[in-house]
Each structure stands twice: as C-alpha cells, then as structure tokens.
C-alpha cells in the first residue's frame, strides 16, 4: 500500500506547500524525487555499477558523479559556466565558493531537478534527467541549505513519512528512525512538534531524514548552518564515517574551516566555473610552492638582513611576525645564524603550512591576476601573498 501523505497544509504543514499534499522538500529534501519509491535497490539487482576502470577517480576509484563542461542559465543570468566536477567513490569532495558561485545549482543538476543547457552529467554512470533518474535519486540523500519540514508534525512523524516515501520495510522502519535520530542527537525530541525545534535541531532532523535509506551518495548544501560548534563537529565526523563504509559525499560550503582536514578532494568554484580541483596537498604544490617560516623578533633591520640571504625569495610582515619565503627549508639554519651574528634576538621560528583558507585565496587571487581582473586594492600580486580586506571578509 502506498504511503499516505499528511493532511492538507492548513492542518499539518506550513505555508511552504504545493498541491496534492506534497511539499517542496518531497523533491528537494527527499533526494529530489524519492517520493513514491517503494523499494530501495538491493545489490543483487541489475542496477548498473561502476567498475574500477570507469571514471577517473584515481587510485582505482570510480567517479560516482561526473559533470563535464556544464552550463546553465536562468533567463539571461548564467548560473553555471562550463563547470566540470567529479566525485570519486568513497571520498569526500568539498565544493568551495562564495555565496552565488553556483554550488546549489550544481547539486540540483546531480539530482535531476535541473537540466543542463550544455554539457554532460552522469551519476553512477546514468543520466539523472533520463529514464534512470528515479533509480539515481533513490541512491542519494540530500540536505538542502534551508531544509523544509512539517512543523505541525512531530520529529518522529516527519521521519516516518520520509521512511514510507523511501519504501523502508515496516519491520525495520522504527529502529531505523530511532537509530538515525540518535546519531544526530535528536532522539529525545522525537515526540515534540518540529515547529518548536531550534534551527540546529531542524538541521539535525533534516540530516537524519536524508540518511534513513542508507544512501550511496550524500549531497550536503551548507550542512552545519545554524549548528552550535559541538553539533557541527559531530555532523562532520559523521560525514567522515560515511566514506569509511564505501559511501560518497559531495559537500558545499563557504566555511573554509569545515573543509580543513575533511576534504579528500577540493573544488574551488566562482561565478559558475571551476577554478581548480585537487587534494589539499596537490593544491599546495601548485599554489604555495615556496617553503615558508614565521619568525618572531623585534628589530627594525631584520627584514633587510633576511631578504639578503641566498634562497630567500621574499619577506612580508604578518601580524607583527616576519614571514619568510624560502626555496628550501635547509636555508633556515643559515638564516638563524645570520640573524644571531647581526645581534638580532629571535623569539621563535615556526614553519608555516598553508591552510585551506590560504590556498583558497591564493587560487582566487591567481585567477584574478591571470584573467586581468585586478580589484585595485593594492594587494601584492603573486601566489601566496597577503589577503586583501575584501578576501578576508569573503566578499
């Protein structure tokens, strides 16, 4: 028997409703089309799967998402401009970019909610807007940036409704609901109406809903929005745990601290185009080639002394510390000896490893320089230079 939808919005929902008892989250939150699915595919069926030779995931890993040269416009406004993006299996891919960069549009391409004007999209080797779209969506879990929920239903009833739409068997439905609720720390609030939930609790409920059917691909759009630091850390830990079980994750965020140490693959996107793709290590090799150390000292001639040492490419003042860019860290002892010989006291010498934030701004700055788009801010050109005030504020 098909699942029964909640009563009309006037009695059970909110103003965020559409006809026939269906709401927008039935297509966005529930994997952009999971509504009406009666059975989750089991691994013994004829569902096509990647082999290690398929895709370009690297290290024998296939790509579960392949977006190649995709463009999409809304009227005269371009949202994506020849975007290319890949998500390897069992990896966390993080899409980084400012608000309005096209991250959410890319997610909607993957679920088949939007059709590309140009280019090619393949999910699990299938076309999300073709006849295989339903099969793709039942293998995805989606958490949108602002997930919609039934405020007049309890947390349990929200999850039960989603479980019925996903086609979970009644024999496991209750245990699955309670397991996912406990995983995200809302098991004690399942009997409360969602309208009384805090923003963070609603986000955790949406995450529990997206993982009820054990998806192969989890699509997260700003997943920690509204969460306190402890809850946000728990969510990010869960994301890492999923990939240990052969799940794949694509996460969109403009919070660089979230992606630090989490992302296996980073895609920097701006104005609908991918600027760079790679691991943090490979991006460091490309955009932060100099070895860098921060020296804490207090002497007016220190920068001039250090700048004349062989192997030092440049120096800069960063928060009262002297940041020294070197061709090789083997030059550090020579530099220290030279400073001591000049009678300059040294408080500390600390190697500087670039953070993802450093790399992000270096990539954006490099592409501005190469495209001739200079903002006139007076920022020193070149890879690895200081950030502008505009960059620091994320504008």
Q: Do the beta carbons of residue 165 and residue 60 sit within 8 Å?
A: no
Name which of 281, 287, 282 is nearest 365 in CA terms.
Answer: 287
Name which of 260, 264, 250 is nearest 222 in CA terms.
Answer: 250
pLDDT for 19: 35
Query: CA-to-CA distance for 217 and 243, rounded, in angstroms?
Result: 10
Q: Do the beta carbons of residue 120 and residue 66 sit within 8 Å?
A: yes
pLDDT for 95: 94
Q: Do the beta carbons of residue 354 and residue 362 sit within 8 Å?
A: yes
Q: What are phi and psi of 348, to 5 degrees?
A: -160, 155
Query: CA-to-CA distance for 105 and 18, rounded, in angstroms?
Result: 21
Number of Cβ within a 10 Å radius of residue 148: 18
User: What domains can be seen in the chain, in order of their start residue?
Assistant: 23-278 (3.40.50.300), 289-351 (3.30.70.100), 356-392 (no CATH)
Question: If you ran DSSP here, which 8-state letter would residue 380 be given?
Answer: P
Which residues have a Cβ under 8 Å from the Cβ of 139 and sit 6 or more positions away? 41, 124, 215, 216, 217
Provide block-wise average pLDDT over 10 residues at a time, the chain (395 residues).
38 38 40 38 36 41 88 95 94 91 93 94 93 91 89 97 93 95 92 93 91 93 82 82 85 86 92 93 88 86 87 86 88 89 88 89 90 48 38 40
Query: CA-to-CA distance for 163 and 340, rounded, in angstroms?
Result: 69
Q: Do the beta carbons of residue 199 and residue 223 sit within 8 Å?
A: no
Query: CA-to-CA distance for 81 and 74, rounded, in angstroms?
Result: 12
Q: What are the pLDDT digits (tens) for 154-194?
A: 999 999 999 999 889 999 999 999 999 998 889 999 999 99
DSSP string, 359-372: HHHHHHHHHHHHHT
pLDDT for 372: 67
Q: What are the pLDDT digits (tens) for 345-355?
A: 888 998 888 88
pLDDT for 62: 66
pLDDT for 164: 94
């Amino acid at each position: 028997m098909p699942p029964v939808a909640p009563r009309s919005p006037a009695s059970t929902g909110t103003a965020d409703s559409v006809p026939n008892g269906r709401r927008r989250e039935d297509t966005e939150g529930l994997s952009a089309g999971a509504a009406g699915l009666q059975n989750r595919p089991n691994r013994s069926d004829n569902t096509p799967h990647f082999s290690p030779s398929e895709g370009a995931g690297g290290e024998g890993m296939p790509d579960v998402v392949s977006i190649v040269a995709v463009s999409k416009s809304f009227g005269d406004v371009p949202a994506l401009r020849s975007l290319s993006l890949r998500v390897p299996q069992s990896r966390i891919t993080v899409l980084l970019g400012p608000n309005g960069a096209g991250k959410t549009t890319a997610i909607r391409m993957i679920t088949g909610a939007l059709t590309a004007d140009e280019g090619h999209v393949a999910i699990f080797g299938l076309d999300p807007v073709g006849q295989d779209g339903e099969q793709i969506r039942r293998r995805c879990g989606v958490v949108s940036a602002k997930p919609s929920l039934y405020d007049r239903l309890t947390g349990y009833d929200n999850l039960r409704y989603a479980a019925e739409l996903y086609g979970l068997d009644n024999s496991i439905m209750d245990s699955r609901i309670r397991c996912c609720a406990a995983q995200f720390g809302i098991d004690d609030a399942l009997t409360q109406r969602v309208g009384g939930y805090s923003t963070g609790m609603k986000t955790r409920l949406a995450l529990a809903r997206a993982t009820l059917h054990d998806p192969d691909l989890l699509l997260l759009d700003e997943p920690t929005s509204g969460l306190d630091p402890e809850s946000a850390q728990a969510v990010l830990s869960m994301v890492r745990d999923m990939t240990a079980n052969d799940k794949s994750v694509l996460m969109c965020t403009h919070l660089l601290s979230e992606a630090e140490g989490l992302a296996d693959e980073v895609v920097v996107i701006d104005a609908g185009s991918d600027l760079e793709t790679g691991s943090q290590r490979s991006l460091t090799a490309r955009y932060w080639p100099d070895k860098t150390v921060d020296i804490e000292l207090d002497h007016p001639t220190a920068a001039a002394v250090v700048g004349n040492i062989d192997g030092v490419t440049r120096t800069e003042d960063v928060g009262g510390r002297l940041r020294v860019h070197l061709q090789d860290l083997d030059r550090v002892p020579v530099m220290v000896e030279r400073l001591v010989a000049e009678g300059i006291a040294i408080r500390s010498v600390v190697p500087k490893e670039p953070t993802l934030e450093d790399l992000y701004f270096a990539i954006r700055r490099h592409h501005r320089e190469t495209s001739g788009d200079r903002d006139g801010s007076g920022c020193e050109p070149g890879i690895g230079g200081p950030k502008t005030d505009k960059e620091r504020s994320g504008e």
